[in-house]
Amino acid sequence: MVAGMGERESDRPVDEAGDQGPQAERRMPLRPPSLDDAAPPPPPRPPLTDETKPPVLRAIPTPGVVRTARTLWILSFVLGGAAVFIAFLGRDGIVDELTERLGRLAPGYDADEIASLVDVVYWSSIAGLGLIITIEAVLLGSLMKRRGGARWLQLIVLVLHAGAALVGSAFLAIGDRALLMAALLMVGFVLCVVAWGLCLAPAANRWFRMLDEAQRAALD
């Protein structure tokens, strides 16, 4: 019976989990594959500075005819300003001469009325010349900014300039400096006419119609 019991004890099933417990604890389970393992690396960070040079507008060079017209206009301004300055300095002589002339032309007026009329004529002539010069200078600045429409406004002002020059020659070019005043007024008007004509040249027309060119900026 002992032998039979030994056989029965040897026939008991062996607990495989119990016998392999320490080895099972030392064995690490495999990590399941992840989608991150197959993902491409992130793109590099863009630089904080961009070395690309930005485009800028380059002004079209001014043609020679327009530069010559600008010079002539400036000379006419100088001559007109000189005429106004001389007329202001010689006011006493001009007023006396105008009083005598108007007294002969209008004998029915008294001295006070003649004096008032002389003041109106004198100051109106000077103010007209000064206003014309100022308007022409403003239009010249607009013209040099390539605004071709200013040429037609200058044509209107040229007509007014002719009238102001004639009035100035009649009422301001008298006395000792009569020839000088007349020469300054007439030459100044002629210079304005020539300058306006130069702005109608083909090269000037192309310059007024062209657009500024774009180029890359030169970084220092």
Domain coordinates in residue numbering, the chain: 76-209
Confidence at residue 152, expressed as pLDDT on a 0 to 100 scale: 93
Compute how many other C-beta atoms are within 10 angstroms of the C-beta atom of residue 163.
11
Instruction: For residue 80, give the nearest of 24, 137, 10, 143 by alpha carbon.
Output: 137
Which long-range contacts (C-beta less than 8 Å, at least 24 apart) are formed by 183-188?
Answer: 184/79, 184/80, 184/82, 184/83, 184/86, 185/79, 185/80, 185/83, 185/129, 187/76, 187/79, 188/75, 188/76, 188/77, 188/79, 188/80, 188/83
Q: What angle do CA 158, 76, 143 make, to 5 degrees?
A: 60
The Cα 135–Cα 142 span in angstroms is: 11
Longest dimension (CA), the chain: 178
165 and 188 Cβ atoms separated by less than 8 Å: yes
Q: What is the mean pLDDT of each run of 10 residues along the chain (220 residues)?
A: 47 49 52 57 72 66 93 96 92 88 78 87 93 95 90 94 93 87 95 95 89 48
CA distances from 147 to 59, 201, 207, 209 (A): 14, 15, 10, 9
Confidence at residue 51, expressed as pLDDT on a 0 to 100 scale: 65
**pTM assigned to the model:** 0.68
Compute how many other C-beta atoms are within 10 angstroms of the C-beta atom of residue 90.
19
* Residue-level length of the chain: 220
Residue type at position 106: A
The Cα 114–Cα 119 span in angstroms is: 9
Contacts of 216 (CB under 8 A, 6+ apart): 53, 54, 55, 56
Tens-place pLDDT, residues 23-73? 545 555 555 555 555 667 777 777 677 666 666 666 778 899 999 999 999
Which long-range contacts (C-beta less than 8 Å, at least 24 apart) are formed by 200-206?
Answer: 200/151, 201/65, 203/63, 203/64, 203/65, 203/66, 204/63, 204/65, 204/66, 204/69, 205/148, 206/63
